[in-house]
Structure 1
Amino acid sequence: MRVPPRAWIGIAILIGYLVIIAIVAALSGVPYEDVGTSAESIFRVTVPSFVIGALYLVVVTTALGWWRPALFERARSARRWPIIAPVLMLVVAIVSLAQTTWEDFDATFLLALLLLGIGVGFCEELVARGTLLVGLRSRYREVWVWLWSSVLFGAMHLLNVLSGSPLDKALPQVLVAFGSGTVFYILRRTTGSLVWAMALHGLWDISVFTVGHNDATVPFAGLATPVVAILGLAVVAWVIKDADERVPVSSRAVA
Structure 2
Amino acid sequence: MTSPVAASDLRVRPRVWIGLAVWAAYVAIIFIVQQLVGIPMPEWGVDGSSLFLGAGLSLIVGTIFLAITASLLGWWRPALFDRRHSVRWPIFVPALMAAALLLNLASTDWASYDAGFFAASIVLILVGFTEEMATRGLLLVGLRGRLGEGWVWFISSAAFALMHLMNLAAGQDFASTLNQVGMAFLGGTVFYILRRTTGTLIWAMILHGLWDFSTFAVGHGAPGPFFAFGGIVNLVAGILGLAVVAFVIRGSDERLSR
SS at match of 1:215: coil
CA distance in 1, matches of 2:24, 2:205: 20
The equivalent of 1:156 in structure 2 is 163
The equivalent of 1:85 in structure 2 is 93
How do 1:27-38 residues align onto structure 2 when only pairs under 5 Å count?
27-38=36-47
Residues 68-109 of structure 1: CA deviation (Å, up to 9, x unaligned) = 0000001111x1000000001001101210121100101221
The equivalent of 2:121 in structure 1 is 113
CA distance in 2, matches of 1:81, 1:29: 45
Return the offset for 1:217. 6.8
Matched, 1:196 2:203: yes
CA distance in 2, matches of 1:5, 1:198: 22
CA distance in 2, matches of 1:4, 1:126: 18
Return the offset for 1:162. 1.6
CA distance in 2, matches of 1:159, 1:93: 24
Amino acid at match of 2:178: L
Q: For the Cα contact (< 8 Å) 1:151–1:178, is it kept in 2?
A: yes
Residues 190-234 of structure 1: CA deviation (Å, up to 9, x unaligned) = 111111000000111011112324111752112222111101111
CA distance in 2, matches of 1:210, 1:7: 37
Q: Which residue of 145, 168, 172 corresponds with 2:175?
A: 168
Return the offset for 1:111. 1.4
The equivalent of 2:5 in structure 1 is none
How high is the TM-score relative to the length of structure 2? 0.93
Q: For the Cα contact (< 8 Å) 1:157–1:173, is it kept in 2?
A: yes
How high is the TM-score relative to the length of structure 1? 0.94
Q: Which residue of 65, 75, 79 corresponds with 1:66?
A: 75
Measured on the aligned residues, the alpha-carbon RMSD in Å equals 1.2
Matched, 1:3 2:12: yes
- Structure 1 unpaired stretches of 5+: 251-255
- Structure 2 unpaired stretches of 5+: 1-9
